[in-house]
Amino acid sequence: MTISAEHYDELVAIRHHLHENPELSGQEFETTAYIKAYLENLTIEILETGLKTGLVAQVGQGEPVIALRADIDALPILENTGLPFASKNAGVMHACGHDLHQTSLLGAAKVLKQRETELNGTVKLIFQHAEEAHFGATDVLATGILSDVQAIIGYHNMPTLPAGQIGIREKGVMAAVDQFFVTVTGIGSHAAYPHEGADSIVATSAIVSSLQQIVSRNMDPQRAVVVSVTHMAAGNTWNVLPDTAIFEGTIRSFEQADRALAKQRFYDIVENVANAYGVTVDIDWILGTNVTYNDPELSAFLLDETSRWHDDVVVPELSNAGEDFASYQEQIPGVFAFIGSNGPGSPGLHFSDMTVKDEAIPVAVDYYVNNTFALLEKLGQ
Ligand SMILES: [Zn+2]
Ligand SMILES: [Zn+2]
């Protein structure tokens, strides 16, 4: 651990305070004020962005320019950890560990400010709002504040990996997320006279079953794609066949070609099975985050650099979850790592009993700080 014992204790207290006071996406007012006060106390410059929540700060000066990103929002989940510092905001919880992310970036901010004279370039520190709602990164990019940034790094904690383990892999690391909502319209009838209608329930059942063939029959078995129908609804009594049924769900993929093929097959199956059952469909397709795609050269470089100062570095498995860090990577070469935050068998992200260990904090601070120096040196050559 390169941070001092006092700094570690300070960061643990900060993490517990943030965990106790979670705020939902786009409503991180107290969190933002807390971060701002901490940075201003260190005389770190807060950049003018016009963002309502979240902020971008800056350390160092001149070229090259890099960015470090942490997200700050929480989830609408009733906490069930039993921690002494559990959420005081009932129904809202840092169940994705963004309390850890922002704490470690505050820790890195302090170290980088102390070592500012050693910095050969500028570091922008992004405390990003609304990751869970997938509009925070887009908001930050829209301010133009990152237009001079040449590389960006971030990470997500992984409760299922040992605390302090760092995982870095090339190319796709977290999934592209697509969402669908389908309305199936048939003709309602008396349950005893189904032949006088067009049954939306039987049609929907057939459609949902057929959708399972996208992964099993259309996708390359060597590459990961997920199709999940998560919600179906139809009818409201036992002796009437309803006019309509709905279903919704999500598709996850890691390659642009797979994403496009899955969408095409989805439309083919839904429309043609509906046609076979004499019902009509209305498909609402909601594009979510793009694939979190690590720049191959930068990720190889950071994997190598991180291995120099840390003895627990792995190439992790893909995550089927999505991340709006992907939006930055569409414009700026970037690397998104995983940092273990608990251990195998622990409750995963978004679970009401998910916990992270404070031992992950100093490793995450080092990830930001050491890679900042490595990146500035590489880009400055
Ligand atoms: Zn999350
Ligand atoms: Zn998250």
Say how many Å lie between the CA of residue 8 and the centre of ligand 2. 23
Q: Which one has a higher pLDDT value, 134 or 201?
A: 201
Question: Kindly report the CA angle at 11 between 126 and 96, in degrees rounded to 5?
Answer: 60
pLDDT of residue 2: 82
- As a whole number, the mean pLDDT across the chain is 97
Say how many Å lie between the CA of residue 373 and the centre of ligand 1. 29
Say how many Å lie between the CA of residue 322 and the centre of ligand 1. 8
How far is Cα 323 from Cα 59, in angstroms, rounded to an integer? 26
How far is Cα 99 from Cα 354, in angstroms, rounded to an integer? 12
Residues with CB under 5 A from ligand 1 (ion): 96
pLDDT in tens, 323-360: 999 999 999 999 999 999 999 999 999 999 999 999 99
Say how many Å lie between the CA of residue 90 and the centre of ligand 2. 19
Please, are residues 294 and 169 in contact by the beta-carbon 8 Å criterion?
yes
Q: Which of 300, 380, 327, 295 is nearest to 69 (CA)?
A: 327
Is there a binding annotation on residue 170? no
Say how many Å lie between the CA of residue 43 and the centre of ligand 1. 31
Say how many Å lie between the CA of residue 75 and the centre of ligand 2. 9
pLDDT in tens, 41-96: 999 999 999 999 999 999 999 999 999 999 999 999 999 999 999 999 999 999 99
How far is Cα 81 from Cα 103, in angstroms, rounded to an integer? 20
Quickly tell me which residue has 């500035």 as its tokens. 376
Say how many Å lie between the CA of residue 323 and the centre of ligand 2. 7
Please, are residues 175 and 256 in contact by the beta-carbon 8 Å criterion?
no
Q: Which of 52, 3, 41, 39 is nearest to 123 (CA)?
A: 39
Ligand nearest to C-alpha 350: 1
Is there a binding annotation on residue 190? no
Please, are residues 315 and 167 in contact by the beta-carbon 8 Å criterion?
yes
**Dihedral angle sign, alpha carbons of residues 351, 352, 353, 355:** positive
Q: Name the amino acid, one letter, at 98.
A: H
Please, are residues 53 and 132 in contact by the beta-carbon 8 Å criterion?
no
Is there a binding annotation on residue 98? yes
Ligand nearest to C-alpha 356: 2
Say how many Å lie between the CA of residue 75 and the centre of ligand 1. 7
pLDDT in tens, 238-267: 999 999 999 999 999 999 999 999 999 999
Say how many Å lie between the CA of residue 350 and the centre of ligand 1. 6
Say how many Å lie between the CA of residue 242 and the centre of ligand 2. 39
Ligand nearest to C-alpha 128: 2
Is there a binding annotation on residue 118? no
Say how many Å lie between the CA of residue 360 and the centre of ligand 2. 15
Ligand nearest to C-alpha 99: 2
pLDDT in tens, 156-210: 999 999 999 999 999 999 999 999 999 999 999 999 999 999 999 999 999 999 9
* 146-167 burial: b if 16+ Cβ within 10 Å, else e: beebbbbbbbbbbbbbbbbbbb
Is there a binding annotation on residue 156? yes
pLDDT of residue 1: 63
Quickly tell me which residue has 């929480």 as its tokens. 74
What is the percent of the chain where pLDDT is above 70? 100
Cβ within 8 Å of residue 14, ≥6 positions away: 38, 103, 106
Domains of the chain: 5-174+291-380 (3.40.630.10), 176-287 (3.30.70.360)
Q: Which of 261, 264, 260, 263 is nearest to 250 (CA)?
A: 263
Say how many Å lie between the CA of residue 104 and the centre of ligand 2. 14
